[in-house]
Amino acid sequence: MKIIFLLLFSFAYLFSYSQESLKINRTYSDTIPNRLRINSSIIRDHVYSQIPSYSKKGKYETMTYTFADKVGSQVSNLLTQGKVYTDWAELELYVNRILLQIMPEELKKDTSIHAYIYKDGAVNAFMTPSGQFIVNIGLISRCNDEATLAAVLAHELAHYYKQHSLKSYIQSELGNFDTGIATNDKLKNSMSIKQEIEADSIAMNWIKNSNYSLMGVLKTHKMLERDQQRQLLRLENEWILKHSTHPLSKDRVTNFYSFYKKNKNLNNNLFLINEELFNKFKELAKKESLKFLLDDVQYYECLELAFKFHLMDPDNQTYIYFLMESIRKICYINNDTWDQNFITNRYYDTVRVQGVKRKHKVKKGLFDDLDFNILPISQEEAKYIKARFYWEGQNKFKTYNEAFEFYSSVGKALNCKECILTNALSITGDKNVELRNKYLKEYLSYKDIDKRDFAENLKEDKCVTNLPKKKLLIFSDFFAGIRQGNNRIPINNLSEDTTNTLNYIFDSLKTTYPERDFIFLPDIKSSNISDYKLFVALENLTFNNMISLASGAAGEKRIYGKINNVKLHILEPNYLNLYRKYGVNEIEFLNCFYTESRKKDHSLEFYKNTRDINYQDFFKREKCTKSIHVIITSLRIIKGKRLKIRAFGKEESMKFKEPSYNQIISELRYKIRYKEKVARENDNRDEEYKRRLLK
């Protein structure tokens, strides 16, 4: 599994590991619990205390402290992103019981080791050098037994045990590797691969001693191998997967069999805690994974995973809904996809033309034959397929358009109410309003529906027209630090600053722009995590090049013809709620990066002094070289206007002798005016484009 440079630390969060039966209860809270609100300095000091004393001397002194300090900031932010489950204590406890089962005795004394479940549909888990596990809900949805999950946990635990992250950081900074000075990524990757092999070896021994079956290790490698092969089939100009930071899965499988031959007569337990509970959690994890993949704009991944789950459970309306929503959103972004082959449209076949290997798009439909190279299931899982009718007799469909029609009828047969709204949202354009409203009326006829208010406004065409003409400007990130060459040393986290540095800046901007409200994004985390996550999702959309939200940039088609531009509230109705709640028709995201340049000083004293500078003192400094880079993006819900606006600008030098406070405010005002200019120019181009079309 992937190693991510993040470290986590938690205090006094103790669980009982008794064998008592567990209930699956969840109580959602819209705030971050205190156990996750850990000051970055506390995390830093803990991490630093765990580093061996010999690694804190000489040239390593500043480096190891910097490592711990960066970890503190990253982890403090990670814990309060709203992606750690805080309402599912039973699942968290269950995973930690599996972790305890595979943990060697010498690590059981380490009370900082703990696993958290993460709201991410990807198949991944990672452990930090401070002892914290992050286990994606997507991984739980894909494991078929405890032994497989235990194998992943053991591998990540081995990275922690050998302090691989710290070693990688130090070697990366110094460039010292066993093979000499690292001058390219090849040597760095070689070190990473060596660490992965070492972690595999340690993990297999721990699994052997845990009473779990070693076959869990094989299943994890097979899962990764399959994902790698399918990834290769989606690459147009690659034929062989190359080693990067991880060894290829086929090599790991070979190493496994070498170990297994010597230990194959050991235990074969796939479950040691509770098989029934595991299966319950897995079923819930499937739905959660699909939801988060959709939320994270991983539409194709959501589609293929939903299809896999559907094959095993064809009468489950949840999977039908996610199939329909994935198809709708994929085709809404690119209307040409409606006529392309379902799932196979993004895969390539390898052929030889006059002795030269070439790749071309797969032309066959998914149901022309049972192709396990493309299907999101393994041959071993194929025996559990219940929906074999797809490959028996006449094919049910081939294109995305035909698939949507098919699943729409299935959703109706299964009485999936939300599928009706999805069907309505797939029909776009002024010429098709009557047909769309027919489905909206049917949806609204039910009592227990999720989006009644949205559907009513859409039916009356009030989604956009009733929004106030006001803007919300969100300070997403405000970085301030010292630049030394290519390195930047951030001063203390602004969200932890007690001097309310932003108040002065906000107040100054408010007088200039009274039509705007101003928010510092980290403040939202403290009061409303749901809004925070939606704001983050919206900002990610402004940087996502896959989605063009520009008027005239993409047509919309749903067998009923081409019409106008992509609309944000049609793409995801939940986004509209945020605009209504804050009473705006435009949400802007401002990222500001302020740096002061100084001569290189690698002493620990300089680093600590830099990190502890007071914000107000920092911005008042005179006679220093400094620069500022401001980026503003926005999403507008204004009828007939372009939605996505991006004003990147460039890094600007600031006056050497003058303090920074007023210069920062002046630059922010300028960039807001610049963003407005970009918006007007884009709108004018769109109007001119429309006029040419009408001629």
To which residue do tokens 């066993």 refer? Answer: 178
Closest CA to 371 of 233, 541, 557: 233
Cα-based distances in Å from 175 to 168, 179, 187, 293 = 10, 10, 9, 37
Contacts of residue 452, defined as CB under 8 A and 6 or more positions apart, other chains included, come to 444
Say if residues 490 and 611 touch (Cβ distance below 8 Å): yes
Give residue 210's identity as a one-letter amino acid code: S
Contacts of residue 109, defined as CB under 8 A and 6 or more positions apart, other chains included, come to none
What pLDDT sits at residue 623? Answer: 85
What pLDDT sits at residue 649? Answer: 82
> How would DSSP label each residue in 176-196?
EETTEE--SHHHHHHHHHHHH
Please state the three-class secondary structure of 237-264 as a single string: CCCCCCCCCCCCHHHHHHHHHHHHHHHC
List alpha helices for 513-657, DSSP H: 521-527, 529-543, 568-571, 573-582, 604-611, 615-619
Cα-based distances in Å from 18 to 15, 100, 133, 140 = 9, 12, 21, 22
What pLDDT sits at residue 25? Answer: 62
pLDDT beneath 50, residues of the chain? 1-23, 176-187, 498, 549-564
To which residue do tokens 């888990």 refer? Answer: 125
545 DSSP assignment: T
What pLDDT sits at residue 692? Answer: 82
Q: Which H or E run contains 123? A: none
Cα-based distances in Å from 528 to 33, 425, 531 = 12, 28, 6
Closest CA to 484 of 66, 5, 4: 66
Cα–Cα dist 176/182, whole Å: 6
Cα–Cα dist 514/512, whole Å: 6
**Two tokens at 118?**
């993460």
Q: Rounded to the nearest 5 degrees, what angle is found at the Cα of 530, between the Cα atoms of 529 and 533?
A: 85
What pLDDT sits at residue 180? Answer: 32
Instruction: Report pLDDT digits (tens) over 321-331.
Output: 999 999 999 99
Q: Map out the domains of the chain as residue ranges.
A: 34-263, 297-459, 471-694
590 forms beta bridges with: 475, 632
List alpha helices for 469-528, DSSP H: 501-512, 521-527
List alpha helices for 414-449, DSSP H: 417-425, 433-444
Instruction: Report pLDDT digits (tens) over 140-154.
Output: 999 999 999 999 999
Please state the three-class secondary structure of 297-345 as a single string: CCHHHHHHHHHHHHHHCCCCHHHHHHHHHHHHHHHHHCHHHHHCECCHH
Closest CA to 307 of 385, 232, 379: 385
Dihedral sign from CA coordinates of 464, 466, 469, 474: negative
**Two tokens at 81?**
């992103």
| Cβ atoms within 10 Å, residue 20 | 6
Cα–Cα dist 83/99, whole Å: 21
Cα-based distances in Å from 381 to 142, 144, 222, 408 = 11, 10, 12, 26
